[in-house]
Amino acid sequence: MASAKKLQERVALPRTAWMLADFVILFLLLALLARRAASLWEEHASTSTSTWLPALALVCEAWFTFVWLLNMNCKWSPVRFDTYPENLPDEELPAVDMFVTTADPALEPPVITVNTVLSLLAVDYPDAGGKLACYVSDDGCSPVTCYALREAAEFAALWVPFCKRHGVGVRAPFMYFSSAPTEVATGAAGHEFSENWAFIKSEYEKLVTRIEKADEGSILRDGEFAEFIDAERRNHPTIVKVLWDNSKSKTGEGFPHLVYVSREKSPEHYHNFKAGAMNVLTRVSGVMSNAPIMLNVDCDMFANNPQVVLHAMCLLLGFGGDETQSGFVQAPQKFYGALKDDPFGNQLEVLYKKVGGGVAGIQGIFYGGTGCFHRRKVIYGVPPPDVVKHERAGSPSFKELQIKFGSSKELIESSRDIISGDVLARPAVDMSSRVEVAKLVGACSYEAGTCWGQEIGWVYGSMTEDILTGQRIHATGWKSALLDTTPPAFLGCAPTGGPASLTQFKRWATGLLEILISGNSPILGAIFRRLQLRQCLAYLIIDVWLVRAPFELCYALLGPFCLLTNQSFLPKVSDEGFRIPLALFLAYNMYNLMEYKDCGLSARAWWNNHRMQRITSASAWLLAFLTVLLKTVGLSETVFEVTRKESSSTSDGGATTDEADPGLFTFDSSPVFIPVTALSILNIVAIVVGAWRALFGTATAVRGGPGMGEFVCCVWMVLCLWPFVRGLVSRGRYGIPWSVKVKAGLIVSVFVHLWTRN
């Protein structure tokens, strides 16, 4: 018997030069700490002057050293996974349930969701019509979204065969039709293809027109949408509609099932944001198709690689029967129509390549919330096979499953099938016959008294349910695998403009700090569960995003404080100690620049991301820090903010915009802009005051007075905050509103008054 062909290969990536650079920067950080501590000790022993300023600098620099050590751990042992889908056995592949989530038809236009769904329905997979099912969760309970999906199901009957017949590379129609066809054919075949292409494009344009012109009033007059009558977004029963059941296809060449789900909402129940929606999708699919593998994507993240499911199967099935190595398979987030040089620092290319690739070499990449393939049994809380052998034997009883999964007999039986471990099990179920059962498991009260959101499903307790859920999986003992294909597996749209970008960063950071200070902390996972130490440290590098905000803000204030009060916290140019911060400044920025160049990005992209790091830290992270602080003391509740998605019906495949330069920062009256505006004004004032004193010597220097280092700090901050400096004098969307300017000005006035009144 011939040996099985290799499905995947784990390749360790060399990193010797980068390791040396890591240690150089670490050495400089330690040298700075040693010099600072020695200077602080000498000053404390020789004078009676207050030493709080250098002490504060020492604390901040110690924090920066700790963060650098966390970064070194993440990047230390990068790997990549090569996949070979051509070696997969067609007849033995498991079924896959595909989940798409949308929450607001205004911020996430239905045409975006439709394109994502169509791209999933058209992926390459053996017996796709029988083995694949697509479930769309609509937390906005929008009849327009449901109508759009019904129309999309009709169009899919044309689109899916066209893609399969002609080997279409990109199967989201808006992207495919944004350019001339790349498929080349001659003679009669070429003429037939051209006619088919023009016909399908015309049908797609009609589909988009119907969706964009649809209104709730006309839709509700259609009896098919009667369930939406009197339904309010936050108060309505569960709605489950089977929009396409492939088992009833007469041609035999169907496409995957398509099911619309809007979970029950009630003012009396807390709905747990996206995590709650994902758990409802898991239960609904569990009683309908019950595939052992689940894929989840956001509504704007279409399948860019038609073989993405096959590539994922190489990692899920390719470790020689050792499922522990791939509890879930995560694809990096990449974006279409992205703005050149990443002006808002939200494309995260370097983060995924450097940090993601490094973490993949430990216990596995983080769960990113979209573009991820899960084993259903892992989501059900089943530990790895080696743990099961030592902890318990035999399958759980009906009573045990009822306590965990709830009262639905259908869900209990389907969960028993999954827990039994038969990954190829694919029960034949009439989808339409399970609608009432699906509505039952989608009810608000279904989870009461069960383990959903704790031991089972997506974990509750954080706005970043993805990181928390992935961490729970790793803490159980599972590993994860990185799926980085060419072309990229999935593509989505990155938010543009100041408000959208900072809203996204604020939401992420809020959820991460909620994890850090809760019982779900990775530190506890490493101590009491099976989270590896290095994986724990890797989780900390993102969980401490918010904790970085006060340290970075304090350090950013030292420069202007010294110029305003005629003090110093850095050595003078003439001092030998000046070489250490100078070398550290140059080495650190050169290191980051070379990382961007190594990823094929420009120096401008590095600068944009560097400045956005400073802006985000002083705005989104700072406000998120205060939000979590207020929530901890019971004075506030976190609110999930949906990021606006641009419509994908544009002809160029990029984001729809009427702006002359979409890369410019836009502003509104949100409080998130107040701290950075104040910091910009403060640094400008400090530079003017410091320069005046340096030129005219109007005051006696304390502690030697400020030197070149303090001036460089302030100038550097002004350059980093340049979008806000420009916003101070601009108008319209590109100008900072007067309400923000006045509040920021008051903060600066108070700061200056408090520290210069003596």
Give catalytic residues, as residue numbers: 139, 466
Residue 127 assigned ligand-binding role? no
Coil, helix or strand for 535? helix
Q: Checking DSSP bridges between strand 328-330 and strand 372-375, what pairing results, if any?
A: antiparallel
CA–CA gap between residue 566 and residue 706 (Å, rounded): 6
CA–CA gap between residue 84 and residue 237 (Å, rounded): 45
For the chain, what is the largest distance between any 2 Cα atoms, rounded to a whole number of angstroms? 94
CA–CA gap between residue 712 and residue 691 (Å, rounded): 12
For residue 438, what are the CA distances in angstroms to 240, 260, 463, 464?
A: 7, 11, 26, 26
DSSP state of 489: S
Residue 652 tokens read as 């160029």
Question: Which conformational region is residue 95 in: left (phi greater than 0), alpha (psi within -120 to 50 degrees), or beta?
Answer: beta
**Contact (CB, 8 A) for 694 and 687:** no
Q: CB-based contacts of 570: which residues, under 8 Å, 6+ apart?
A: 578, 581, 707, 709, 710, 713
Could you tell me which of 609, 745, 749, 750 has the C-alpha nearest to residue 677?
745
**Contact (CB, 8 A) for 213 and 207:** no
Residue 131 assigned ligand-binding role? no
CA–CA gap between residue 349 and residue 479 (Å, rounded): 23
Residue 108 assigned ligand-binding role? yes
Residue 341 assigned ligand-binding role? no
Half-sphere exposure of 168 (CA within 13 A, CB side): 27
* CB-CB neighbours of 539 under 10 Å: 29
**Contact (CB, 8 A) for 470 and 480:** yes
CA–CA gap between residue 643 and residue 658 (Å, rounded): 19
Residues marked as binding?
108, 139, 274, 298
Residues marked as binding for UDP-alpha-D-glucose?
108, 139
